[in-house]
Structure 1
Amino acid sequence: MVTGRASGSIFGLAYGDALGKPTEFLDMRRIVKRYGPDGPRELEGAPALVTDDTQMALAVGEGLVYALTHPPFTPDLVAPIWRRKFVDWARSPDNNRAPGNTCMRAIAGLAEGHPWVKATIQGSKGCGANMRVTPVGLVPGLTGEERSGAAQLQAALTHGHPTGLAASELTAYVVWWLREGMAPTELQSALREHCRSQRTTYHERWLGELWQRPGVSTPAEFIARGWDECLEVLDRLDAALPVADRNADPCLATGGGWIAEEALATALLCFLMFPDDPVAAIWRGAASSGDSDSIACLAGAFAGAYLGMDAWPAEWATRIEYADRLTRLGRAFD
């Protein structure tokens, strides 16, 4: 019986992030030159340092824990908590891991007190929208509307593009479905069905007037673009998997992961190539020419949600940065 799925997922996110951190801005030639043909396989350092991906996932997760202990769980409750968590992170001396420009620009607006719908970067669908959403997928007991709305809201605080919202929701659901025991072989069809069923669903209670911008007539028109772009990248994933070369750069098939939908698809490709080998899944994400830390961290979140904490090398749990916070978060959701 698989146990510790939430812990396995949140630690897996951090492990993938740490493994991909040294390769994030390297092409495959330089990765092979530095690490050999097998790429990085071991965590570096004591502790093994993570990036802003894990730091912001912890902010989302710890904000969720606080919100859920002060019910009811509503956007009016959790949005100010996440605002404060994000601003605290941006001002922290630990925020020295090449944070994304979109996140920093949007959080600067939040820090100045602007409404988040004004502070967000409307045209951005960078992977910062979904690199941090894993905790939303780990929370038990949420309704579908709450999980979808929360996943999109945490993205929307910084990334206002509809594809960033849709990809974040899909990422959260992959984590949730795997945590609940869905077979990896069922993910692709479940993702497509979710895209189709949600195509015109705009979560106004969570997103407010975010949809209002020039050239957009209705909330449904706004959000449909995000779901359509996610379906397009799922087409690429479907085409890549049957012929996937486990020794090839996954970014060649599904994109470099710098944008939200590609981060989801390429992380899924890494996980689905190695569904029973979590270390191989994050290695494949780290040994890639794209946004290696974000791809590997999502692949690790998926693998850990499916296989549980015991699937990871036991010694890594004491070597990873923020081990105490990761432990508390995993236990809260387990």
Structure 2
Amino acid sequence: MDIDSFLDRELGAQQKGKAEPEASGETAALLSSIQYLLAQKQFDQIEASYDSLWKKVSQSGFSWDRSLYDELVTIHGQIARETAPAFQDASKKIQIMRQMVAQARTLLSARQVDGAAKLQNEVAAMMAEIPGLFFQEKKAMEKEVLRLQRDVHDAQSAADLQKVSMLQREIMQQSARLRPFLLSGNVAAATQQYARLLSLYQQLPPGFLGIKLGLGREMAEMYKSLAIQQEIERLRQQLNPIAQRRFGALQQPSHPVAERHRRQARELLAGKEYDAALAQVNALLSLIPDDQEGRDMLERIQAAKRVA
């Protein structure tokens, strides 16, 4: 005779005729709850219900109940079978995440910060999908993910600082190119250069307000000057047809200083000394804004500098 049969015979006879303890009904409800959670694969809630089941067993005074014992064994087997695939899936995900973390670190070493950040976000999303009952495995992986997040954040900060420094230099250089066009009244070139300046400014990342304010002050003054030049150009275009109809086409008056700048610009342009030629052309256009040869030389200089 096995021990279960002995308990059934001896203890069953003692309990014969007794009312079923109240705890057994609560235990049955817990067993049903666990079976439902297993069917729904709500693994995070199963552990709490399983722990509550054993509390009820403890509260029963440990009196023998064959049906309760059978239910416990059955539930244990069901939980083990149902959670086994989840454990396997979690193990596979953790292995994949470790590979992704290694890839992210390789990208960080190669200074490919954006790629590393993308992988880090994907790993974090996968981590959130792992049920909480895999506490030990999840916590070990979380430590690796947190270290990666810290390193990615540090790398992003360093990259942002480097990017801002580079953009700041480019903005200052672009401002220097823009000033002569504003001084000479070359509205078309000034407008083009100012658009490039704004494009560079808009690439500055968040968090650098102090630098933006420093750059913005001069940019605002340039905006004001450009707006005035555009209005002057608009009025000039409106007045020229009226003047020509009334007085006929007028010859451009001779301007000795302008002619000197024109001659020097030609010579410098022929010698491919573009920076010096640009200074002479801007001086010419500051005296005669509508000078066609000056504008032609300016376009040639700009084209040559773009190629260079």
TM-score interval, normalised by the smaller of the two chains: under 0.3
Q: TM-score, normalised by structure 1?
A: 0.18
Q: Which has the higher helix share?
A: 2
TM-score of the superposition, structure 2-length normalised? 0.20
Higher gyration radius (CA): 2
Greater relative contact order (Cα < 8 A, sep 6+): 1
